[in-house]
């Protein structure tokens, strides 16, 4: 097994030396078989959570009620979950209680899809009671046991099926599609936060075009915030989006572009995204608007700042089909006379000191904004004397 697994080997050894089993499970096993980059490494054991805490020096009881302990090792951390099944499901979401079980096969049977229901030992041997390996070969999303039952237990799994089909570029089994069609309204029971996680991953996957087809074919999109209320915006996205968009802010800007009558803020609220996403989406969209009118200007790059240049350029490509060479944008940005307000050779304190007789107020930021503009477009050198001379002249002529 590869490096990320070997790094976790001491954990498995500790369990084994104390008479317990421990295996790699879930996404990391799947991605390792597919030779995809490995994300988080999760482990399953027959030791109970208190034993897990006792066996390791550094642990965090992140989900002790459902058997999950975070084990810290070096600068990595691993979720270690006691073998469990799930009790009765209420409301088509989380189970009422969980039950710890004896063997790994039982634990694997509670998992959503066959490709996610494999375990692997340190020797690389796979435990695969539901033929996940075969489905990996066939590039197929198939539920563990009956799709009907599994979706009615936890309705989020319907969206997860489509999310994995996008990320892995797999097809969804016909029986699974039928079960999504029949159970789609159950998605109403699921919290927006969990929906947002899956949907964001879906839009970031290589197979996003196919995933949108599935959302359309199953009508599952009708259960999604905004898309469900506004058929038009879904069909526009469905028809036009063929490339993955992995950045939530770019995604929101893109949706807003598709139907400008739905504001960025409406999207952010409906999907409970953060203020940081809202701010970033707004910056990207405003820069796009400005670019439509004025083309690529120094002011535009300055307004974007370094961190938003790439997502903005991606956005331009998503909506216009072509974009700039990123290195050229960065080199133009590097050559700007100033990159941010604080690069100005003069600041608010300097202005107050220059004109002690003036009452502090809006004139300070007005002066600074004007200086910023003149320095940026090359009309003024960014030197203290020059800038002081300019504001003195303005002050004399009574400007501001
Ligand atoms: P990713 O690489 O996106 O993290 P993943 O397969 O690790 O993919 P997670 O959401 O992190 O997906 O879940 C970890 C594992 O837990 C899954 O592989 C699956 O075995 C199981 N699992 C997660 N969510 C569910 C669910 N709703 N129902 C059943 N099993 C689930
Ligand atoms: Mg994971």
Query: Cα separation of 64 and 60, whole Å?
Result: 9
317 CA distance to ligand 1 centroid (A)? 32
Which one of 1.10.246.80, 3.40.50.300, 3.10.510.20, 1.10.3720.10 gives the CATH number of domain 341-396? 1.10.246.80
User: What region does 25 belong to: left with phi over 0, alpha with psi -120 to 50, or beta?
Assistant: beta
Per-residue pLDDT band for 399 (boundaries 50, 70, 90) equals low
Region 2-7 average pLDDT: 90
Per-residue pLDDT at 58 exceeds 80: yes
DSSP secondary structure of 115-128: GGS-EE-TT-PEE-
Per-residue pLDDT band for 120 (boundaries 50, 70, 90) equals very high
304 CA distance to ligand 1 centroid (A)? 36
The proportion of the chain whose per-residue pLDDT surpasses 70, expressed as a percent, equals 100
10 CA distance to ligand 1 centroid (A)? 24
- Which strands make up the sheet holding 119-120, listed edge to edge? 59-63, 68-73, 76-82, 42-45, 22-25, 119-120, 126-127
Q: Which residues of 170-186 are buried (b: 16+ CB within 10 A; e: fewer)?
A: bbbbeebbebbeebbeb
pLDDT, tens only, 346-389: 999 999 999 999 999 999 999 999 999 999 989 999 999 999 99
DSSP for residue 113: B
pLDDT, tens only, 145-203: 999 999 999 999 999 999 999 999 999 999 999 999 999 999 999 999 999 999 999 99
Angle at 266 between CA 263 and CA 272, to 5 degrees: 140
Give the residue range(s) of CATH 1.10.110.30 domains in the chain: 140-246
> Is 49 touching ligand 1 by the criterion CB < 6 Å?
no
Per-residue pLDDT at 97 exceeds 90: no
Neighbours of 383 (CB within 10 A): 12
User: What region does 380 belong to: left with phi over 0, alpha with psi -120 to 50, or beta?
Assistant: beta
Mean per-residue pLDDT over the chain, rounded: 95
Per-residue pLDDT at 133 exceeds 90: yes
pLDDT, tens only, 241-294: 989 999 999 999 999 999 999 999 999 999 999 999 999 999 999 999 999 999
Q: Which ligand minimizes its atom distance to the CA of 25? A: 1
DSSP for residue 58: S
Inter-residue contact 85 to 109 (CB < 8 Å): yes
Element (H, E) at 76: strand 76-82
Per-residue pLDDT at 308 exceeds 90: yes
CATH code for the structural domain at 140-246: 1.10.110.30
Q: Who contacts 372 (Cβ-Cβ below 8 Å, separation ≥6)? A: 338, 341, 344
> Is 150 touching ligand 1 by the criterion CB < 6 Å?
no
Inter-residue contact 86 to 98 (CB < 8 Å): yes
The Cβ-side half-sphere exposure at 285, using a 13 Å CA radius, reads 21
Region 329-333 average pLDDT: 97
Phi, psi of 171, deg, nearest 5: -90, 155
Per-residue pLDDT at 96 exceeds 90: no
Query: Cα separation of 113 and 98, whole Å?
Result: 19
Q: Which ligand minimizes its atom distance to the CA of 26? A: 1
Region 127-147 average pLDDT: 98
β-sheet bridge partners, residue 79: 42, 70
Q: Helix and strand tally (H, E) in the chain? A: 20, 11
Classify strands 42-45 and 76-82 as parallel, antiparallel or unpaired. parallel
Give the residue range(s) of CATH 1.10.246.80 domains in the chain: 341-396
Both tokens assigned to 120 = 């692997």
Q: Who contacts 269 (Cβ-Cβ below 8 Å, separation ≥6)? A: none
8 CA distance to ligand 1 centroid (A)? 19
Which one of 3.10.180.10, 3.30.460.10, 3.40.50.300, 3.30.450.40 gives the CATH number of domain 1-138? 3.30.460.10
Q: Which of 83, 112, 130, 163 to mutate to test the pocket of ligand 1 (most atoms within 8 A of CB)?
A: 112
Per-residue pLDDT at 23 exceeds 70: yes
Neighbours of 219 (CB within 10 A): 13
> Is 329 touching ligand 1 by the criterion CB < 6 Å?
no
DSSP secondary structure of 71-106: EEETTEEEEEEE-EEE--BSTTSSBS-EEE-S-HHH
Per-residue pLDDT at 87 exceeds 90: no
Query: Cα separation of 49 and 178, whole Å?
Result: 38
Per-residue pLDDT at 400 exceeds 80: no
Query: Cα separation of 279 and 248, whole Å?
Result: 11
- Judging by beta carbons within 10 Å of its beta carbon (0-12, 13-18, 19+), is residue 290 exposed, middle or buried? middle
């Amino acid at each position: 097994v590869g490096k990320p697994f070997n790094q976790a080997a001491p954990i498995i050894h500790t369990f084994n030396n104390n008479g317990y089993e421990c295996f790699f499970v879930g996404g990391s096993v799947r991605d390792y078989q597919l030779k995809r980059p490995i994300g988080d490494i999760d482990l399953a054991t027959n030791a109970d959570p208190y034993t897990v805490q006792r066996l390791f020096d550094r642990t965090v009881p992140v989900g002790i009620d459902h058997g999950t302990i975070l084990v810290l090792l070096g600068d990595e951390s691993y979720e270690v979950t006691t073998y469990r099944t799930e009790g009765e499901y209420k409301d088509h979401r989380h189970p009422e209680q969980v039950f710890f079980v004896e063997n790994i096969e039982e634990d694997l049977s509670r998992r959503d899809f066959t490709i996610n229901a494999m375990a692997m030992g340190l020797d690389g041997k796979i435990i695969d009671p539901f033929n996940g390996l075969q489905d990996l070969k066939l590039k197929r999303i198939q539920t563990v046991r009956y799709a009907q039952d599994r979706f009615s237990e936890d309705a989020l799994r319907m969206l997860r099926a489509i999310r994995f089909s996008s990320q892995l570029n797999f097809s969804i089994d016909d029986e699974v599609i039928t079960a999504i069609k029949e159970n789609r309204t159950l998605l109403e029971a699921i919290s927006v936060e969990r929906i947002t996680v899956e949907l964001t991953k879906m839009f970031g996957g290589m197979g996003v075009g196919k995933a949108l087809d599935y959302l359309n074919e199953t009508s599952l999109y009708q259960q999604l915030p905004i898309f469900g209320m506004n058929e038009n915006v879904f069909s526009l996205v469905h028809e036009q989006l063929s490339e993955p968009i992995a950045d939530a802010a770019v995604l929101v800007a893109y949706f807003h572009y598709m139907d400008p009558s739905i504001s960025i803020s409406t999207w952010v609220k409906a999907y409970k995204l953060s203020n940081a996403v809202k701010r970033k989406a707004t910056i990207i969209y405003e820069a796009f608007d400005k670019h439509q009118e004025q083309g690529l200007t120094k002011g535009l790059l300055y307004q974007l700042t370094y961190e938003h240049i790439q997502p903005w350029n991606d956005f331009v490509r998503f909506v216009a089909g072509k974009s700039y060479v990123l290195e050229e944008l960065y080199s133009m940005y590097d050559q700007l006379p100033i990159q941010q307000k604080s690069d100005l050779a003069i600041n608010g304190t300097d202005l107050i000191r220059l004109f002690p007789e003036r009452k502090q107020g809006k004139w300070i930021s007005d002066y600074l904004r004007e200086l910023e503009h003149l320095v940026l477009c090359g009309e003024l050198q960014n030197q203290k004397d020059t800038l002081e001379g300019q504001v003195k002249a303005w002050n004399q002529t009574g400007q501001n």
